[in-house]
Amino acid sequence: MATTPNAAAPTDFSGNSRSLLRRWSADDVAHFVTFLSAATLLVITSLLVYQLWVLSAEARAKFGWTFFVTKTWDPVAGDFGALPFIYGTIVTSLVSLVIAVPLGVGAAIFLAELAPPRLSSSLTFVSDLLAAVPSVIYGLLGVFLLVPVMRTTVQPALKAVFGFLPLFQGPSYGIGFLTAGIVLAIMVVPFVLSVSREVLLAVPRDQREAALALGATKWESTWKVVVPAARIGIFGSVFLALARALGETMAVTMVIGNNPRVAASLFSPGYSIAAVLANEFSEATGNLYLSALIELGLVLFLLTFVLNGLARLLILVTTARGSGVLPT
Amino acid sequence: MSARLVWRKSLNFVMLSLTGLCAVLTVSALFFILGYLIWNGGKDLSWNFFTKLPAPVGEVGGGMANAILGSLKLLFLAALFGVPIGLLGGVYLAEFGGRTVPFLVRYTADLMNGVPSIVMGIFAYALVVMPMHHFSTLAGGIALGVMVIPTVLRNTESFLRDVPRSLREGSFALGANRWRMIATVVLPAASRGILTGVLLALARVAGETAPLLFTAFGNRYWSPGWMQPTSSLPVIIYTYATGPYEDWHRQAWAAGLVLLGLVLITNILVRAFLTRGAAYERT
């Protein structure tokens, strides 16, 4: 506003606002202001994508697609490849799903089908609280509690029983893919649980009663009727959990070992995309280094964006509640 | 009973017990975590912890007063930046929106909710740290603020939608126009739920570490103003837990207990008192 601060200014202003009001009612102003706020989210999202794309330009131009298949990560020589990080991210996420999905779906079946409503809602409350625990706390417990137990007890035991598999060979460091996967599993179980419980509850009562009336046991009605009816939504919850696991940073960084390696053994230390960002971003020297890290961020963003979109679609199909807010 | 029936009944029993076991395992994780933190961190909580600066590296003692204040400042900025946008955006979706824009915003909000927090850190880094050439409280606050927006927005929208039609119609019948109806009838009616969403969103970002690592960074001293790097509870837990000193580890446990306590207490109070009767949304 370039108006001079004199006595004429207030009159001028009120004149303006009156003419503005004639065209724009108070409702229009409110409409416009709230619209701007809603649009801010779209602007932020576009800006995020733009930044990730532009700032990773140097690395994309230099390495092209070979970035994704190169094993070397050598900041000193300026040679960057993402393979060890992508590998570590996928392996730890898969390990976590192998543990979390049966556990979460099992618990969801108990809460949705068996537990009396009061018990079910209080247990769900506890599971929601579990989802609220900050990830650095999981990391803390991982470093000081889980890693020593893995080193002295779990890994030697696994080696003794399944040692013939390449997955369970090599020295027991305690840290590594398996430990990171276990911590991740504990972190994503609440997500699998709450979404699965919701989609199970959305299955109509009649279906259960029809199965029971035909002489099915409780388990048969659950497993052969209710779970299949809710399976798309359960898949959705798995994708949601996967997206969480892929992007989880702190807990993984603290227990994965931070060593860019591609190894078949789950006992081996590794690295993940989020962990390398957490460790190296603030000390990245040189544009190429930074831009390689940001390209990793772009990969992570796209992966989770696609998985989340897919998950929401699947859950939406099952619960068919067009505008319902879904737990995240 | 035929053998088949025995088999079916025992399968029924075994599988149902297993699902119960899954539930018990999952739920007990929380109590285990809480108990273990109290066991390990409780004894190192003292007055000094809340009032003293960290001791010089390698020395025993000191506290985390600067990290506690830093976390509060970051949360304040996050609320300042994220809550108004989320709130007004939610009002737009529930009260004004047509079809296309709300659909787009809703979908984007849900997807942004799932974007890894470390990526939000890159966003604030590129937006604030790169132009300014140094880490700052401001950058950390913006990183957290961006994470608050989608949650508050979706939550506000859903609670506004739950306000009964009759209230709106009554307000119109008395001659109120739309914004007056929203400001004096609908928003107050939904205020409890909206407040719940805001507090839960803030409790969630209060524990975020990843987006602060290269925005707010860290600081062993007080951080005056908003343009200096600042310490924060989650980051200092990470630094101390992965550091080499025994004393740091002890303090990391104590800080972990404080952080977990704050987050859990907020969650429990909010969910127990503000959502009485109303269905709450998880964040």
8 Å CB contact of B126 and A250: no
As a whole number, the mean pLDDT across chain A is 87
Helix (H, G, I), strand (E, B) or coil at B62: strand
pLDDT of residue A15: 46
What is the separation of C-alpha A151 from the centre of its chain, rounded to a whole number of angstroms? Answer: 27
Task: Report which of residues A23 and A253 the model is more confident about.
Answer: A253
B34-54 pLDDT, tens digit per residue, is: 999 999 988 888 888 898 888
How far apart are alpha carbons A270 and A263 in whole angstroms?
8
Partner residues linked to A74 by β-bridges: A79
Q: Does A57 touch chain B (CB under 8 A)?
A: no
Q: Which of A37, A281, A304 sits opposite B88 (nearest CB)?
A: A37
Window 145-174 of A: residues touching B by CB (8 A cutoff) are 145
Percent of chain B scored above 90 by pLDDT?
65
The Cα of A144 is separated from the nearest Cα of chain B by a number of Å equal to 8
pLDDT of residue A20: 56
The pLDDT confidence band at residue A21, using thresholds 50, 70 and 90, is low
Number of other CB atoms surrounding residue A152 within 10 Å: 12
What is the separation of C-alpha B280 from the centre of its chain, rounded to a whole number of angstroms? Answer: 15
Q: Which residues of B touch A85 (CB under 8 A)?
A: none
Q: Which residues of A touch B149 (CB under 8 A)?
A: 40-41, 44
Task: Report which of residues A7 and A59 the model is more confident about.
Answer: A59
Mean pLDDT of A115-130: 92
From residue B109, give the alpha-carbon distance in Å to each of A36, B200, B282.
Answer: 15, 16, 14
pLDDT of residue A317: 79
pLDDT of residue A80: 92
B65-124 pLDDT, tens digit per residue, is: 999 999 999 999 999 999 999 999 999 999 887 788 888 999 899 889 889 999 999 999
Q: How many Cα atoms sit within 13 Å of A101 on the Cβ side?
A: 18
- Distant-in-sequence, close-in-space partners of B104: CB < 8 Å, separation ≥ 6: A42
How far apart are alpha carbons B112 and B115 in whole angstroms?
5
pLDDT at residue B163 tops 50: yes
